[in-house]
């Protein structure tokens, strides 16, 4: 057993820390103050691309063998990935999501896409000429965690698919080169009817982009959009028809969720950590450390965040070794956001009226962190998934 | 790099402890509790395996496997019966002041003889902040009272506080009490009259380490107790039906069972994290206090809820969960209890600017 971080990872983390203090956190505070996402033409994104960010984890066609495909490209390094995510979120989770790159569209492309689709859609992210984004759209106004309930439809017409529906809360959607959109060929079939399409920017019928107004995490855009008689080439059906003949569309979607639960959970740890550090700084500055109630709460926040991080790491470690991690992944996701919200909320208590002013970093973190108990499956959904494993809770 | 595998050696230790708990402890837990002792052959089997000397240096016949091994074994044994786990370990947490303050010489003089005395027990009493023991040490002897120790005989009593430790073995009168929990180990109050000191060590840093290790020991027992209660009640909830389905399939209980599983795992991960820091020789007092605190809080969440899941049956002594609840409450009173542990972590955290930094603070 070992809980140390290896040297290459520590080096990466040191780089993020420098970028975080100098750019990421100030940018997050600015976006929060201005109440808008960082615009896509911001110099920060160009700087990131110059520094080698915004790239795909896909290794190119040479590495595109069946092993990488099966593994979804995460096997082996999700622990490092987790630590990087935590550190980014520590500086600003909203800015972290706004980073250029294929984003949440990448896992389904890696796990379900054909070699040709990976070349077309991930290829431009190998050595990007400019900041580029990919996006992912499953959620709809009336279907969140219960993805079986999506209403967007897809019908075949010649060598095209016609998509109709409304999508909500898709990160970076209006600036993305393409969006992986989930729709149903027959809503009566539930998950069996799901298909994923890569919908490219400028496709006729893709539009009405509306950047939502959020409580926090304002640095990245959460965007709703519509599909109206949207004509998508048949070649953009993710995995091709054969893929769906082999297995239900839902499994692909669930698989990408599985890979990301501990990652989203550890982002919450990062936010909570930021709140804890700020709380400590405030307590020190105002001599609050003599109060045992204050000390007790700081101690509790550290302990709960530490436990949450260990739960995340364990889930990632299992994934790295090809072992089932559904229970552990859901557990990390159920626990971490609650611990992080508690840390931010405690910070507000220490600040008192200073927090009530609405211009302190802790107050921003308090608003930011709540989303972490919702995205990638709410805490309640995680408990349902856990209960299926623990006591065989039936699906219906 | 981050790796949660225990490794072949510790997996073997764990399997051995698990088998021992299954074969020797779980089936007889009510007998052990009512008789307040274990049969000689159980003691003998325990001694043969070498669990008592897991952390002892190899030079003294120990296996020098460290704190992580102790945590793994204590969890497994406590899942069988935590009182029995204490009864079987002649030194128990009393080992730590001897090891940290007295060193090999103290082990040789005080501990080694107990290993060869059947049923012998050394007890550790915390006399520092939060303790309800009233002991005064002056002029080379100790006088006072200890309200409760989990034993019916005391061959060696080690007192520990923030400044150091002492050891006595005479002048200790035991009075049997019923005991709220851990009865398999016995339960007595102690009256001590002018007991001559056999040793007296003053070294605050070493005393803090000894306390940390004692907390870790209790935390490991708590993890075992709550794990057993969580699993027992989970199995029950899948068999018991109400309103046409297993009670586990009502969401109120399904969610509770999920939270109980998360509680056990959170406590165990903090336990292992602290053990790892101890074994690496890092300053681990705060982590051990945190592990004890987490284990206490989570056990006090898990065990009453395990009883609750069994409903009326849970309240009856035909089932083991009421015992788990009492054991958890009792174990968490150790070493000044949760408030003393909170104080340890709460004071320490103020020394940091970034207490959970992935990289060394400020580096």
Mean pLDDT for the stretch of residues B190-200: 97
In chain A, residues with a C-beta closer than 8 Å to the C-beta of B259 are 334, 383
Question: Domain for residue A110, yes or no?
Answer: no
Q: Where does the pLDDT of residue A75 fall: very low under 50, low under 70, confident under 90, or very high at 90 and above?
A: very low
In chain A, residues with a C-beta closer than 8 Å to the C-beta of B1 are 2, 4-6, 9, 79
Check whether A71 has a pLDDT greater than 70. no
Mean pLDDT for the stretch of residues A303-329: 94
The residue of chain B with its CA nearest to that of A12 is: B359
Cβ within 8 Å, pair B342-A386: no
Question: Domain for residue A111, yes or no?
Answer: no
The whole-chain average pLDDT of chain A stands at 92
Q: State residue A257's pLDDT score.
A: 41
DSSP readout, A195-217?
A: EEEEEETT-TTEEEEEEPP-SS-
Nearest to B335 by CA among B94, B111, B36: B94
Cβ within 8 Å, pair A284-B255: no
In chain B, residues with a C-beta closer than 8 Å to the C-beta of A265 are none
Give the integer Cα–Cα distance in Å for B312 and B322. 11
**Listed residues A247, A274, A289: the one ending a domain:** A247
Nearest to A313 by CA among A94, A145, A79, A80: A79
Q: Where does the pLDDT of residue A247 fall: very low under 50, low under 70, confident under 90, or very high at 90 and above?
A: low
* Burial (CB count within 10 angstroms: exposed 0-12, middle 13-18, buried 19+), residue A38: buried
Q: Are residues A47 and A180 in the same domain?
A: no
Instruction: Select the residue of B265, B276, B356 nearest A302 (Cβ to Cβ).
Output: B356
Q: Are residues A290 and A345 in the same domain?
A: yes
The answer to whether A376 is a known catalytic residue is yes
Give the integer Cα–Cα distance in Å for A283 and A278. 9
Percent of chain B exceeding pLDDT 90 equals 96
Q: State residue B54's pLDDT score.
A: 94
pLDDT digits (tens, 9 = 90+) for A80-139: 999 999 999 999 999 999 999 999 899 899 988 999 999 999 999 999 999 999 999 999
Q: Are residues A338 and A278 in the same domain?
A: yes
**Listed residues A247, A262, A283: the one ending a domain:** A247
In chain A, residues with a C-beta closer than 8 Å to the C-beta of B254 are 383-384, 387, 390-391, 393
Query: Looking at A221, A278, A342, A376, which residue is catalytic?
Result: A376
Give the domain range for residue A219.
134-247
Instruction: Select the residue of B4, B294, B350 nearest A303 (Cβ to Cβ).
Output: B294
Percent of chain B exceeding pLDDT 70 equals 99
pLDDT digits (tens, 9 = 90+) for A182-201: 999 998 988 889 999 999 99
Tokens of B346: 């709460």
pLDDT digits (tens, 9 = 90+) for B241-291: 999 999 999 999 999 999 999 999 999 999 999 999 999 999 899 999 999
In chain A, residues with a C-beta closer than 8 Å to the C-beta of B10 are 1
Check whether B92 has a pLDDT greater than 80. yes
Cβ within 8 Å, pair B358-A295: no
To the nearest whole Å, the CA of B299 is away from the closest chain A CA by: 15
Q: State residue A31's pLDDT score.
A: 98
Q: State residue B261's pLDDT score.
A: 98
Q: Where does the pLDDT of residue A144 fall: very low under 50, low under 70, confident under 90, or very high at 90 and above?
A: confident
Phi, psi for A120 (deg, rounded to 5): -70, -45
User: ipTM score here?
Assistant: 0.96
Instruction: Select the residue of B248, B262, B273 nearest A3 (Cβ to Cβ).
Output: B273
Q: Are A217 and A97 in contact (CB under 8 A)?
A: yes
Q: State residue A65's pLDDT score.
A: 57
Within 10 A of A247 (CB to CB), how many other CB atoms are there? 12
Cβ within 8 Å, pair B262-A334: yes
**CATH code for the domain of A203:** 2.40.110.10
Cβ within 8 Å, pair B290-A302: yes
Q: State residue A63's pLDDT score.
A: 67
Instruction: Select the residue of B257, B345, B350 nearest A387 (Cβ to Cβ).
Output: B257
- Count of structural domains within chain A: 3
In chain A, residues with a C-beta closer than 8 Å to the C-beta of B227 are none
Residue linked to tokens 């640095």: A219
Check whether A277 has a pLDDT greater than 60. yes
Q: Are residues A211 and A273 in the same domain?
A: no
Instruction: Select the residue of B2, B246, B359 nearest A2 (Cβ to Cβ).
Output: B2
Tokens of B50: 């070498």
Cβ within 8 Å, pair B2-A306: no
To the nearest whole Å, the CA of A379 is away from the closest chain B CA by: 10
DSSP strand pairing (B122-126 vs B134-138)? unpaired
Dihedral, CA of residue B260, residue B264, residue B269 and residue B275, to nearest 10: 160
Q: Are residues A225 and A259 in the same domain?
A: no
Q: Are B299 and B78 in contact (CB under 8 A)?
A: no
In chain A, residues with a C-beta closer than 8 Å to the C-beta of B6 are 1
Question: Domain for residue A186, yes or no?
Answer: yes
Q: Are residues A120 and A196 in the same domain?
A: no
Question: Domain for residue A149, yes or no?
Answer: yes
Question: Domain for residue A107, yes or no?
Answer: no
Check whether B362 has a pLDDT greater than 90. no
Instruction: Select the residue of B1, B6, B251 nearest A6 (Cβ to Cβ).
Output: B1
To the nearest whole Å, the CA of A390 is away from the closest chain B CA by: 7
Cβ within 8 Å, pair A335-B262: yes
Cβ within 8 Å, pair A277-B354: yes
Mutation pick from A298, A303, A304, A314 vs chain B, by most beta carbons of B within 10 Å, is: A303
Q: Are residues A256 and A374 in the same domain?
A: yes
Give the integer Cα–Cα distance in Å for A52 and B263. 40
Question: Domain for residue A396, yes or no?
Answer: no
Mutation pick from A1, A275, A280 vs chain B, by most beta carbons of B within 10 Å, is: A1
Q: Which of A68-72, A244-248, A265-269 has the highest mean pLDDT?
A: A265-269
C-alpha A391 chain-centroid distance: 29
In chain A, residues with a C-beta closer than 8 Å to the C-beta of B276 are 1-3
Which of the residue ranges A71-75, A157-161, B1-5, B15-19 would you say has the lowest mean pLDDT?
A71-75
Cβ within 8 Å, pair B356-A289: no
Maximum Cα–Cα distance for chain B, whole Å?
Answer: 71
Q: Are A194 and A184 in contact (CB under 8 A)?
A: yes
Instruction: Select the residue of B4, B345, B359 nearest A17 (Cβ to Cβ).
Output: B359
Mutation pick from B71, B244, B262, B287 vs chain A, by most beta carbons of A within 10 Å, is: B262
To the nearest whole Å, the CA of A210 is away from the closest chain B CA by: 36
Q: Are B197 and B167 in contact (CB under 8 A)?
A: yes
Q: Are residues A24 and A145 in the same domain?
A: no
Mutation pick from B341, B349, B360 vs chain A, by most beta carbons of A within 10 Å, is: B349
Domains and CATH numbers, chain B: 1-89 (1.10.540.10), 92-103+119-202 (2.40.110.20), 205-349 (1.20.140.10)
Q: Are A54 and A175 in contact (CB under 8 A)?
A: no
The residue of chain A with its CA nearest to that of B235 is: A391
Question: Domain for residue A282, yes or no?
Answer: yes
In chain B, residues with a C-beta closer than 8 Å to the C-beta of A323 are none
Question: Domain for residue A109, yes or no?
Answer: no
Q: Are A227 and A163 in contact (CB under 8 A)?
A: yes
pLDDT digits (tens, 9 = 90+) for B198-254: 999 999 999 999 999 999 999 999 999 999 999 999 999 999 999 999 999 999 999
Q: Are residues A92 and A35 in the same domain?
A: yes
Q: Are residues A80 and A186 in the same domain?
A: no
Instruction: Select the residue of A79, A280, A384 nearest B2 (Cβ to Cβ).
Output: A79
- A-B CB pairs within 8 A amount to 160
**Listed residues A125, A158, A192: the one ending a domain:** A125
To the nearest whole Å, the CA of B258 is away from the closest chain A CA by: 6
In chain B, residues with a C-beta closer than 8 Å to the C-beta of A350 are none
Q: Are residues A157 and A276 in the same domain?
A: no
Q: Are residues A231 and A327 in the same domain?
A: no
In chain A, residues with a C-beta closer than 8 Å to the C-beta of B238 are 391-392
Mutation pick from B7, B66, B288, B358 vs chain A, by most beta carbons of A within 10 Å, is: B358
To the nearest whole Å, the CA of B315 is away from the closest chain A CA by: 23
Cβ within 8 Å, pair A277-B353: yes
Instruction: Select the residue of B294, B352, B358 nearest A83 (Cβ to Cβ).
Output: B358
Q: State residue B287's pLDDT score.
A: 98
DSSP readout, B133-153?
A: -EEEEETTEEEEEEEEES-S-
């Amino acid at each position: 057993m070992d809980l140390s971080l290896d040297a290459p990872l520590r080096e990466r983390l040191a780089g993020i820390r420098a970028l975080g203090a100098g750019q990421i956190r100030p940018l997050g505070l600015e976006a929060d103050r201005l109440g808008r996402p960082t615009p896509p033409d911001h110099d920060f994104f160009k700087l990131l691309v110059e520094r080698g960010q915004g790239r795909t984890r896909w290794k190119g066609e040479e590495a595109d063998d069946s092993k990488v495909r099966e593994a979804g490209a995460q096997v082996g390094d999700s622990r490092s990935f987790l630590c990087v995510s935590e550190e980014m979120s520590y500086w600003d989770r909203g800015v972290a999501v706004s980073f250029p790159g294929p984003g949440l569209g990448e896992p389904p492309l890696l796990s379900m896409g054909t070699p040709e689709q990976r070349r077309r859609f991930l290829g431009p992210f190998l050595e990007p000429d400019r900041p580029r984004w990919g996006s992912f759209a499953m959620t709809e106004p009336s279907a969140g965690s219960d993805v079986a309930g999506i209403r967007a439809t897809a019908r075949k017409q010649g060598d095209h698919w016609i998509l109709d529906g409304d999508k909500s809360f898709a990160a970076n959607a209006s600036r993305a080169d393409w969006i992986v959109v989930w729709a149903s060929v027959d809503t009566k079939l539930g998950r069996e009817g799901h298909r994923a399409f890569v919908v490219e920017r400028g496709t006729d019928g893709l539009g009405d982009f509306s950047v939502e107004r959020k409580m926090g995490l304002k640095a990245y855009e959460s965007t709703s959009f519509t599909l109206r008689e949207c004509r998508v080439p048949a070649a953009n059906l993710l995995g091709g028809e054969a893929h769906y003949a082999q297995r239900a569309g839902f499994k692909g979607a669930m698989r990408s969720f599985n890979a990301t639960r501990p990652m989203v959970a550890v982002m919450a740890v990062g936010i909570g950590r930021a709140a804890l550090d700020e709380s400590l700084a405030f307590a020190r500055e105002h001599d609050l450390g003599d109060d045992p109630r204050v000390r007790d709460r700081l101690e509790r926040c550290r302990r709960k965040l530490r436990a949450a991080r260990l739960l995340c790491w364990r889930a990632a470690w299992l994934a790295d070794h090809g072992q089932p991690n559904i229970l552990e992944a859901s557990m990390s996701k159920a626990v971490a956001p609650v611990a992080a919200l508690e840390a931010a909320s405690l910070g507000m208590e220490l600040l008192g009226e200073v927090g009530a002013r609405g211009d302190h970093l802790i107050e921003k973190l308090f608003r930011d962190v709540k989303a972490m108990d919702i995205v990638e499956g709410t805490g309640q959904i995680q408990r349902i998934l856990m209960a299926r494993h623990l006591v065989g809770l039936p699906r219906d | 790099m981050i790796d949660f595998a225990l490794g072949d050696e510790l997996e073997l230790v764990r399997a051995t402890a698990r088998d021992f708990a299954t074969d020797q402890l779980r089936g007889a837990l009510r007998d052990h509790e009512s008789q307040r002792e274990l049969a000689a052959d159980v003691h003998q089997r325990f001694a043969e395996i070498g669990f008592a000397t897991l952390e002892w240096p190899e030079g003294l016949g120990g296996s020098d496997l460290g704190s992580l091994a102790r945590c793994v074994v204590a969890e497994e044994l406590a899942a069988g019966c935590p009182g029995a786990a204490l009864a079987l370990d002649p030194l128990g947490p009393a080992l730590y002041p001897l090891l940290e303050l007295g060193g090999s010489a103290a082990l040789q003089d005080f501990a080694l003889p107990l290993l060869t005395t059947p049923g012998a027990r050394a007890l550790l009493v915390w006399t520092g902040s939060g303790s309800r023991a009233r002991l005064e040490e002056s002029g080379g002897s100790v006088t006072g009272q200890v309200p409760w120790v989990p034993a019916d005989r005391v061959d060696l009593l080690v007192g520990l506080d923030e400044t150091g430790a002492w050891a006595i073995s005479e002048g200790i009168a035991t009075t049997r009490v019923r005991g709220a929990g851990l009865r398999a180990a016995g339960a007595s109050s102690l009256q001590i009259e002018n007991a001559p000191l056999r040793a007296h060590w003053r070294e605050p840093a070493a005393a803090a380490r000894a306390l940390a290790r004692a907390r870790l020991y209790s935390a490991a027992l708590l993890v075992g107790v709550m794990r057993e209660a969580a699993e027992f009640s989970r199995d029950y909830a899948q068999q018991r039906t109400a309103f046409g389905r297993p009670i586990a399939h009502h969401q109120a209980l399904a969610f509770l069972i999920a939270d109980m599983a998360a509680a056990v795992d959170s406590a165990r991960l903090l336990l292992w994290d602290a053990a790892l820091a101890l074994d690496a020789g890092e300053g681990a007092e705060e982590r051990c206090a945190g592990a004890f605190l987490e284990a206490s809080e989570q056990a006090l969440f898990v065990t009453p809820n395990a009883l609750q899941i069994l409903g009326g049956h849970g309240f009856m002594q035909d089932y083991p969960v009421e015992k788990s609840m009492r054991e958890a409450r009792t174990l968490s009173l150790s070493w000044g209890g949760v408030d003393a542990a909170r104080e340890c972590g709460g004071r320490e955290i103020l020394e940091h600017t970034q207490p959970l930094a992935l990289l060394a603070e400020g580096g």
